[in-house]
Amino acid sequence: MNPEQFRQALSEQGIELTDQQLKQFDQYYELLISTNEHVNLTTITDKKEVYLKHFYDSITPAFFVDNLRNDNISICDVGAGAGFPSIPLKIVFPNLEVSIIDSLNKRINFLDNLVKTLGLTGVHLHHARAEEFGGKRSKYRESFDFVTARAVARMTVLSELCLPLVKQGGQMIALKALQAENEISNAKQAIGTLGAKLALDEEFNLPVSNDVRHIVVLDKVKATPKQYPRKAGTPNKKPIGEKIDK
């Protein structure tokens, strides 16, 4: 997917990019590739692949969650890595107030440089573990309209990392590939325990490659119990309600 195909594919979804936004995506690509030479940000480096599997893929939640397009809302992106999905969403929808959490300072430094290079405002970077950022004493707990995550963990684990950060009435959005149905089924107990319910699991195919993708949306219907999230590392070692094979 070259930049013009990228622009056309988004136009078919009712999203019209300006020349300035296209320029920002080009700057994003150049900085991603140059930084990736000494900081491990992505294994995908071909320009057409980056535009399809990073940029376009990151914007797909807005195809199914209309509020991302129009409202002045807050998003927290957990484990954003090189900025996916939150930075592409921010470029396309400047109305978004974005907070990014990542546990690796090298990635935060890249994102800080990226935000400055692209001239973005309303982006807040946090070097932190999600378990700590959403903990019971954190001022950020249950404060975000949306919490997003892409390629971070399976749903049992991801729910405990993300849902404590979602305000009641807000939503968690997970960008998933194959096996989403199995992940959701395994995570039912965790999702309910943490105060949410499944609102949407939308399967679709990326253009060009036809790769399968899922947008999974959880509604936060009640407060997350104070004992969650547990201490760093525990959600992955002992996921709520999930039997781990030994």
Q: Is the pLDDT of residue 90 over 60?
A: yes
Report the share of the chain in percent with pLDDT over 70.
Answer: 98
List the binding residues.
79, 84, 130-131, 150
Among 113-122, 174-183, 198-207, the range scoring the smallest mean pLDDT is: 174-183
Type of residue found at 6: F
List the binding residues for S-adenosyl-L-methionine.
79, 84, 130-131, 150
The residue ranges of every structural domain in the chain are 3-237
pTM of the model: 0.94
**What is 3-237's CATH topology?**
Rossmann fold (3.40.50)
Identify the band that residue 246 occupies on the pLDDT scale cut at 50, 70 and 90.
very low
**Smallest Cα–Cα separation from 125: which of 149, 102, 147?**
102
Find the mean pLDDT for residues 73-98: 95
Q: What is the pLDDT of residue 122?
A: 96
Predicted confidence (pLDDT) per residue in 144-164, tens digit: 999 999 977 899 999 999 999
Predicted confidence (pLDDT) per residue in 21-70, tens digit: 999 999 999 999 999 999 999 899 999 999 999 999 999 999 999 999 98
